[in-house]
């Protein structure tokens, strides 16, 4: 089975082409240009390099969040468009589940941290069961305050490997709180990769074996939704005061 995977949940545009559990091609761009500018040209180059056409695809995989609200929408809309036109299944996976593959084979826990703004991280905690080649989720995806989350991790009696786009700016704080328990991956392994998404999609396909309706996974409301809800409450309060 041949499939395409798309991850635009962070500032990285990550794509992969895979056949079953074999990675065929991978694209990675971490530049100031936005996803809408680089996604399709990058995909076109990747397909050309692999000598694949869109009609060769049997499945589309997409990372559906958490992460950038705009990036999530771009990735899902693109994936849905291809799946509908090609009449092939669509599968969605979580960004944190995909990033857990950055810690494959490491002893200790793997903790992805993504910048959620508002002094929060999107995060979760995983441990690898290598005999089954599966990441076990020990703490479910959440939006967490960095200090509180790190204090919880510091109480664990094991190494903690960090991955994700929030690592670069948080290294010193992580070291201060976790000390020698803090472990860091090289940046090229730590950031979202098409290969991680492809592996997460393949594992899900083996379990699910069918497509699905993919919806964004935001964890919390977007700023626009918060503003809309606030204004609605203000209008309702004003109406009740008449």
Angle subtended by helix axes 167-178 and 146-154, to nearest 10 = 40
**Joined tokens for residue 55:** 């009609």
Q: How confident is the model at residue 32 (pLDDT cuts 50, 70, 90)?
A: confident
Could you give the CA distance from residue 182 to residue 187 in angstroms, rounded to a whole number? 15
pLDDT for 231 equals 62
Is 90 exceeded by the pLDDT of residue 228?
no
Is 60 exceeded by the pLDDT of residue 229?
no
pLDDT for 179 equals 97
Where are the extended beta strands (E) located within the chain? 2-7, 13-19, 22-29, 59-63, 90-93, 109-115, 121-129, 134-144, 160-163, 182-184
pLDDT (mean) for 31-57: 94
Q: Which domains does the chain have, with CATH numbers?
A: 2-94+192-226 (3.30.420.40), 96-190 (3.30.420.40)
pLDDT for 85 equals 97
Q: Kindly report, residue by residue over 203-215, the tens digit of the pLDDT.
A: 999 987 677 889 9
pLDDT (mean) for 217-240: 64
Q: Kindly report, residue by residue over 78-128, the tens digit of the pLDDT.
A: 999 999 999 999 999 999 999 999 999 899 999 999 999 999 999 999 999
Q: What is the mean pLDDT of the chain?
A: 92
Q: How confident is the model at residue 220 (pLDDT cuts 50, 70, 90)?
A: confident
pLDDT for 225 equals 54
């Amino acid at each position: 089975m041949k499939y395409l995977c798309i991850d635009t949940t962070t500032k990285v545009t990550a794509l992969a082409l895979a056949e079953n559990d074999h990675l065929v091609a991978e694209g990675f761009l971490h530049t100031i240009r936005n996803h809408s500018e680089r996604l399709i040209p990058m995909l076109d180059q990747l397909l050309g390099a692999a000598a694949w056409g869109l009609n060769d695809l049997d499945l589309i995989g997409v990372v559906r969040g958490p992460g950038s609200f705009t990036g999530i929408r771009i990735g899902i809309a693109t994936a849905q468009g291809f799946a509908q036109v090609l009449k092939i299944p669509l599968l969605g996976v979580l960004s944190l589940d995909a990033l857990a593959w950055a810690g494959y084979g490491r002893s200790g826990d793997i903790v992805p941290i993504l910048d959620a703004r508002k002094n929060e991280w999107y995060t979760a905690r995983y441990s690898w069961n290598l005999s089954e080649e599966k990441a076990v989720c020990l703490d479910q995806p959440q939006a967490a305050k960095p200090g509180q989350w790190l204090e919880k991790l510091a109480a664990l009696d094991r190494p903690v490997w960090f991955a994700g786009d929030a690592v670069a700016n948080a290294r010193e704080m992580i070291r201060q709180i976790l000390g020698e328990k803090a472990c860091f991956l090289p940046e090229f392994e730590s950031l979202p990769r098409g290969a991680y998404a492809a592996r997460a999609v393949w594992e899900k396909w083996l379990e699910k074996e069918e497509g699905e309706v993919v919806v964004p996974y935001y964890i919390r409301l977007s700023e626009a939704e918060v503003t809309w809800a606030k204004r609605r409450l203000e209008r309702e309060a004003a109406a009740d005061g008449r």
